[in-house]
Amino acid sequence: MDFLVLAQAFEKIEATPSRLEITAIFSELLKSAPPDISGKLVYLSQGSIAPAFEGIDLGMGEKFVIGAIASAYGYSRQEIEKKFKNEGDLGLVAAGLAESKRQTSLSVSTLTVEHVYDAFLKITKQSGAGSQAAKIKILVELLNSASALEAKYIVRFPTGKLRMGLGDPTILDALSRVVANDKSKREEIERAYNLCSDLGFVAMNIMSGRDEFLKNMKLTPLKPIRPALAERENSAEAIFDRLGECAVDSKYDGLRMQVHKDRGIVEIYSRKLEKITAMFPDIVREVKSRPYDSLIFEGEALAYSEEEGKYFSFQQLMQRKRKHGIGEKEGELPLIVHAFDMLYIDGADLTSFPYIDRRRKLESAFGSATSRQGKIRPSEMIIARSADEIERFFAHQTRAGLEGIIAKDLSMPYTAGARKFAWIKLKKSYGDMVDTIDAVIVGFFKGKGDRARLDFGGILAGAYNKETGNIETLARIGSGFSEDEMSDMRGQLEKIIMPKKPENVVSEIVPDKWVAPEIVITIAYDEITESPMHTCARTEKGKGLALRFPRMAGMRADKSVFDATTSEEVRRMYALSKKGRA
């Protein structure tokens, strides 16, 4: 398939505000492509060349991309940098210069999707001395053969600025439309994706006509499963009314990790499904020592001092997530992993098993919750037969400094990638705060007064709408930051500034700078209220939901956009808070 066909589809998608139309455009693109490249189409459409868990970094710094544009089109770096400053988008700069080249290459060929994909794959494999020059050379060769439209999107790949709002929900709908001409296959396709976290792999199998693929999809070690998510209630009574007799698990404020073992290989994945194995050599050693050929289990990692009998904070724990000085931090911040679910063991996929059976397998592998042996220990859990028992366990856990509890339906299978009432969380309140929200930053405001010198005055953040794939605003946050934190956040946001509002952001408020919706933060607040300005869970009457007195409570580098609090969850929290005040 010619790459121009893909670039033309991207151009249509970028200009289309309707998710239904975007779905139709992408489904037609899939239908027109040879089945064996459908996976590559999906990866490229999401600005990558592989699923996130493979940890392949496509990124090139802007200065290197500017160097490639200069080499390909005969312009100076200074000229390109000036145009970039005016346009705010290197893709648009490359498109304009491709139409007015000052030099041409003797070697020009028609670009295909396969050619472009393979070139980017080759870029990711460059390392060591001379690697940057080699990457630039590969990019120059692509630009030499590219039309203006092709150059626009080729340049956006390595700079990480593709971002058309073509998220997982839209691609899943498009695949269902290919198979059934409607959304009727969406749930089945999403289940397969949830079990392997590889949308390109799913697309390739569907487009190749493998009819039994969806029905036969099973867990595979070293392919992480998308984590189950919990709904919430505001009381032990409400939980017991829903579940009756249930398991009640401790809710730890740690780093959720999914641990895989396949014979001698151990990999650890974060909640975002990033590979974080290298950061936790102590956990790898312990998993390797366990007498099982294959394992997949989930746990919450916390830094814990046995001498002091206390947990370190989440922010301290995140110091373990580094590339250098790992051995030093291993000694300073020793870990305990509180394992809470067993998903796979020695060839058996347990995700369809009832929770209570998975728990028994977990305890068989790692001992009881009271075990003091090793770094991997089952989470503290009880079987509650009344609301009073849930309340007592909740009080015990919060007094111990934990976040709260998660109640689990004893009979339910593991609901991969879904937020259902199979798991229900109950968290402690924070002073006058009802709760906290994990929100996605979509823009920031420049500083005024005392903050002018920092060029940072606050952020605009929103909730994730799972049905539409959009981010809907619910808070403008200007407090909770120290000066150092403001400076650090300004630096992070500077790297992801967008020239215009991202297509998947729904906002009436216009910040000074839009950013790609990638960074998740925790926001503390006093109350959820109706708002004519914010778009979260907006009703037909034009009122959305907003946070009253929002303040920054922390960064959540372990969470992706898809882990953020959803618009539906905010709506339910608002309803619960009104019920509590009634």
Enumerate residues 6+ apart whose C-beta is below 8 A from 338: 250, 252, 254, 299, 300, 301, 302, 377, 378, 379, 380
**Residue 582: CB partners within 8 Å, gap ≥ 6?**
none
pLDDT of residue 432: 39
Rounded CA-CA distance 274/560 in Å is 10
∠ Cα 16 21 22 (to 5°): 70
Helix (H/G/I), strand (E/B), else coil: 333? coil
**Model pLDDT, residue 279:** 86
The predicted-structure confidence for 325-365, as pLDDT tens digits, reads as follows 555 565 566 788 999 999 999 999 999 999 999 999 999 99
DSSP letter assigned to residue 208? T
Nearest to 340 by CA among 281, 384, 296: 296
| DSSP codes joined into one string, 120-149 | HHHHHT--STTHHHHHHHHHHHHHHH--HH
State in Å, rounded, how far the first CA of the chain is from the last one: 61
Residue carrying structure tokens 């580098």: 557
The class (CATH top level) of 47-159 is: mainly alpha
**Percentages (nearest 5) of helix, strand, coil residues in the chain:** 40, 25, 35
Q: Which active-site residues does the annotation give?
A: 251
> How many CB atoms are closer than 10 A to CB 107?
7
Name residue 337's beta-bridge partners.
Answer: 301, 376
pLDDT of residue 62: 87
pLDDT tens, residue by residue, 380-437: 999 999 999 999 999 999 888 888 999 999 999 999 988 789 999 998 764 334 578 9
- What are the residue ranges spanned by the domains of the chain? 47-159, 229-427, 436-581
**Can you give the pLDDT of all 582 residues of the chain as single tens digits?**
999 999 999 999 988 878 889 999 999 999 999 999 999 999 999 888 999 899 888 768 888 999 999 999 999 999 999 999 888 789 999 999 999 888 877 677 899 999 999 999 999 998 888 888 999 999 999 999 999 999 999 999 988 777 666 888 899 999 999 999 999 999 999 999 999 999 999 999 999 988 789 888 989 999 999 999 898 888 999 999 999 999 999 998 889 999 999 989 999 999 989 899 988 899 999 999 999 999 999 999 988 766 666 666 666 666 666 554 555 565 566 788 999 999 999 999 999 999 999 999 999 999 876 666 788 999 999 999 999 999 999 999 988 888 899 999 999 999 998 878 999 999 876 433 457 899 999 999 987 766 666 678 899 999 999 888 899 999 999 887 777 788 888 888 988 888 788 888 999 999 999 998 999 999 999 889 999 999 999 988 889 999 999 999 888 888 888 889 999 989 988 988 776 544
Distance CA 104, CA 53 (A): 39
- With CA atoms as reference, report the closest residue to 21 among 170, 206, 200: 170
Q: pTM for this one?
A: 0.83
Instruction: Quote the Cα angle for 456-458-464, to 5°.
Output: 130
Nearby residues of 540 by Cβ (< 8 Å), 6 or more positions away = none
111 three-class SS: coil
Residue burial 462-476, b: 16+ Cβ < 10 Å; e: rest? bbbbbebbbbbbbbb
- CATH class held by domain 436-581: mainly beta
| The CATH number of the domain covering residues in 229-427 | 3.30.470.30
- Decide if 47-159 and 436-581 have a common fold: no
Q: By three-state DSSP, how is residue 295 classified?
A: strand
d(CA 579, CA 582): 5
**147: CB partners within 8 A, 6+ apart:** 4, 7, 98
pLDDT score, position 436: 86
Q: Rounded to whole angstroms, how far apart are CA atoms 160 and 162?
A: 6
CA angle at 159 for the pair 155 and 162, rounded to the nearest 5° = 70
Residues 372, 338: contact at Cβ < 8 Å? Answer: no
Indicate the average pLDDT of the chain.
Answer: 88
